[in-house]
Structure 1
Amino acid sequence: MKWRRHRLAEALAGRGVHVGHVPISAAVAPGSPASPEAVAETHWRLHAARGLHEVVLGDLATVKAAISTL
């Protein structure tokens, strides 16, 4: 699905709309890769750096592995 988000970003770029995606694959807790400060900073970076469209916080492979055991 990653390609769909980027296509949406490309389609809307000429209209002044910025599309960004922040998958969070860690606990939102102090000391985590997805600490509240990291989440806020990441969203600010997406807002400020219009060429950036996706930033992953945490480790998606770990989350996928955990989900596959359910």
Structure 2
Amino acid sequence: MAKLSDKVKILEDEIKRKDEIILRLRNDKELLMKVSMRTEERNRDKDQLISKLSNENAKLQEELESKGKKRIKK
């Protein structure tokens, strides 16, 4: 039968190992949150760029149609 001190040592080692796992999980969680925030920022930037380009495209399309109508009238 194992001594009480041996059992205490085993339990302390197990607690230490679980604490290390918890620390790694917290670090992973923080990293995932940072990546998620960056992804949201990139998606927001892409959406803004798409909107800007869409507006510019619409303006250019209007100009092109306007010039085409002027040529037809001539």
By the TM > 0.5 criterion, same fold? no
Larger Cα-atom Rg: 2
- Structure 2 length as normaliser, TM-score? 0.24
Q: Which has the higher contact order (CA 8 A, sep 6+)?
A: 1
- Structure 1 length as normaliser, TM-score? 0.25
Higher strand proportion: 1
